[in-house]
Structure 1
């Protein structure tokens, strides 16, 4: 009986993983017959949608298979005190989260052979699976810590919208402070050599930025030539991928740094988080009835106002990207910047077009829109 009980969650995960792997594999193989950029755009979209659905279906399948109850029973048999503690509550979720991770990794591996062939990557499936699993594991760990901390708060503190939004803001601040360390956990980070440090200093001077610290991220062959400004504004860490140092000349590398510096100077990441709070805050308040009581309006008008807000505010994020492009053009010149964007798009098979919904959700215009705007600048 015990064997069959514990077998049910395993079979549930295996079934979801198999279906996800097979469906994404078939779609990726069909998409791979298209031109490379179109193929990669379709595969990326399929992964974004497919892996999200895989995670949700795996969660529901494990809940139906009583994975949480079985884990709690096993913990209680081991130690009733542990099962009733906050640590026990976290441990109860560990097997379920591991099952979700396994299903999502299986789905990703369905597309990996096609991605490796299109991009000409020299990376094993095991390495790719490990990278995805590590990313998911860290993400789940952060969610568990955040939810666990929220559960420790008094019930009256989480029954209203403002305390919840305040807590989420605090979590975002902590994550921003820890971002350099988090990236170091997800990837191999090292100090630059003297030669690399001198080159990075020249790139920063051209880009008009003075980072608090610099570092080099050594990624697998699936990496890209890019940089990340991590941490708090005013104390940003500049993390440069080894691909950027190895593959790009100074002009192209400076264009990449200037592009990311333009976004950092305009607080693009912080603006996206603010948009999420401004949109989801009213949604939560509407669901709890607080918004109706505060405004004396019905659900219909309030829902319409939230919808308008959800469409209008991401447009502001798109304008920040355009402003960052203008900043990069001022630092390196329009021709150099546009050529760099086009070269990187060709190298990594990035489509110039993206769906309107995707652009809206990501608060980022498509590459084609950015290039058309840059070529149409009055000074060109």
Structure 2
């Protein structure tokens, strides 16, 4: 395929997705649950990215880039550098298409969240994230592809395992790369330290995210001895100390219950195993892997939800169940989140919907009151 054909295909994807997402966002604003539909559209952006990336390589993007490199530079078309350029150009093109589609959602996000979100600010924030992610993705994938071509299965598996461990350890560094950050003021640091001590959340350092001042975000990254707490300025402005105590306690409980291990690392494990089976396995192994995922996926998601419930129980024990309910309701109102139950589709989620969590906490509170008021 020629570069013109590839460019036309990418343009066609953009001309299809951009109007479709804009129309969907307009319809979402008139639905009874606009926040939920906007969230689904944001998740669907990953589908746009995957389809764009797949289209590029289906039409011969790799061959075009390697041929161009071989003709214009001394870089061998089978070298690691050439593979990195192939993956990076594909990732950057994919990011550009995804950003353009995301831009059609910004007005709806602004209306639903009732925030002042200039288009330039939104695209700058997501664009920086997309650029850093593109470079990281291209580097890791280029290494894996060359390892597969030159070192065989053993080198591939060792490199893949090393990449997964490195990414898990590098979360705090990546947060600094992907986001605009600053050091907290002495007053902010003292306040957040007190809240961490009150909630049982261990953090070796505190970082303020100042690229999205209208959003309330709290993240905890890093290994146990080197955890870093990231909060946006909106959190400091909108949440009182009692609310921070409760939400920090939930984050502390998630780590005590190993929620991330169930929800994230198990998914990465399935993904890594699946890629390896598809590359090196026979048809029988592929069939066995599919059966393994079918058997273990739902129990793994169930275990992740149970870990989240244990996190809520820990937070309730620290700050009180009624205070936790109040804090979660306030945080949901601040972020315009809908308190949905999830219905039967909750079995496919690793994180229980907020409405279901609140109903569970209220039920436990009522049960405790009944036990306390019953005659002995």
Q: How does the TM-score come out when normalised to structure 2?
A: 0.87
Question: Runs ≥4 in structure 1, deviation > 6 angstroms?
Answer: none
Q: Secondary structure at the match of 1:144?
A: helix
Q: Which residue of 1 aligns with 2:12?
A: 15
Aligned to 1:130: 124
3-state DSSP of counterpart to 1:228? strand
| CA deviation after TM superposition for structure 1 residue 299, in Å | 4.3
Equivalent position to 1:40, from 29, 35, 39: 35
- CA offset digits 1:153-180 (Å, max 9, x no partner): 36696537xx756544432321222211
Partner of 1:205: 197
Q: Distance in 1 between matches of 2:81 and 2:175?
A: 26
Instruction: Determine the structure 1 residue equivalent to 2:172.
Output: 180
Cα deviations across residues 289-321 of structure 1 (Å, max 9, x unaligned)?
57958xxxx947x74453121111110000110
* CA apart distance, 1:86: 1.2
Name the SS of the counterpart of 2:226 in structure 1. Answer: coil
Change (3 A) 1:158 1:64: closer
What SS class does the counterpart of residue 240 from structure 1 fall into?
A: strand
Q: Deviations over 1:323-353 (max 9, x none)?
A: 1111111111112211111122122222222
By how many angstroms is 1:283 displaced? 4.7
Structure 1 counterpart SS, 2:220: strand
Alpha carbons of structure 1 residues 171 and 284: separation in structure 2 relative to 1, 3 Å: closer
Give distance in 1, aligned partners of 2:75 and 2:291. Answer: 49
Query: Contact 2:212/2:232 (CA < 8 Å) preserved in 1?
Result: no
Q: What CA distance in whole angstroms lies between the structure 2 residues aligned with 1:5 and 1:305?
A: 41
Aligned to 1:31: 28
State yes or no: 1:347 paired with 2:339. no
Q: Report what 2:112 is aligned to.
A: 118
Task: Say whether 1:240 aligns with 2:227.
Answer: no
Q: CA deviation at 1:196?
A: 0.9
Alignment of 1:254-269 (within 5 A): 254-269=245-260
Q: Which runs of 5+ in 1 are unaligned?
A: none
Distance (Å, rounded) in 2 between the aligned partners of 1:93 and 1:278: 23
Kept in 2, the 8 Å contact 1:229–1:261? The answer is no
Q: What secondary structure sits across from 1:159 in the alignment?
A: helix
**Is the contact between residue 92 and residue 134 of structure 2 (CA under 8 Å) also seen in structure 1?**
no
Match of 1:153, SS state, is helix
> What is the CA–CA distance in structure 2 between the aligned matches of 1:345 and 1:168, rounded to whole Å?
38
Task: Kindly indicate whether residue 228 of structure 2 is the aligned counterpart of residue 231 of structure 1.
Answer: no
Q: Quick check: 1:80 aligned with 2:80?
A: no
Three-state SS of the structure 1 residue aligned to 2:42 is helix
Q: Residues 154 and 368 from structure 1, CA distance in 2 versus in 1: closer, same or farther, beyond 3 angstroms?
A: closer
Structure 2: distance between partners of 1:364 and 1:255: 18
CA distance in 1: counterparts of 2:361 and 2:204, whole angstroms: 31
SS of the counterpart of 1:349? Answer: coil
Partner Cα distance (2:264, 2:158) in 1:
13
- Number of paired residues? 366
In the alignment, what sits opposite 1:275?
Answer: 266
1:109-160: CA deviations, max 9, x gaps? Answer: 2221111112122121122122222222222222222222323436696537
Residue pair 2:21, 2:101 contacting (<8 A) in 1 also = yes
Q: 8 Å contact 1:191–1:215 — kept in the other structure?
A: yes
How far apart are 1:248 and its partner, in Å? Answer: 0.9
Q: Return the structure number with greater relative CO, CA threshold 8 A, min gap 6.
A: 1
In the superposition, relative to structure 1, how do residues 197 and 291 fare at CA in structure 2: closer, same or farther (>3 Å)? farther
Deviation at 1:369, TM superposition (A): 1.1
Q: CA offsets per residue over residues 46-98 of structure 1, 9 Å max, x none?
A: 2312x233223322433355433332222112113354431122112333222
Decide whether the 8 Å contact of 2:115 with 2:214 is kept in 1.
yes
Whether the aligned pair in 2 keeps the contact of 1:271 and 1:317 (CA below 8 Å) is: yes
Structure 1: how far apart are the matches of 2:199 and 2:276? 43
Aligned-CA RMSD value? 2.8
Aligned twin of 1:309: 296
Conserved 8 A contact 2:56-2:90:
yes
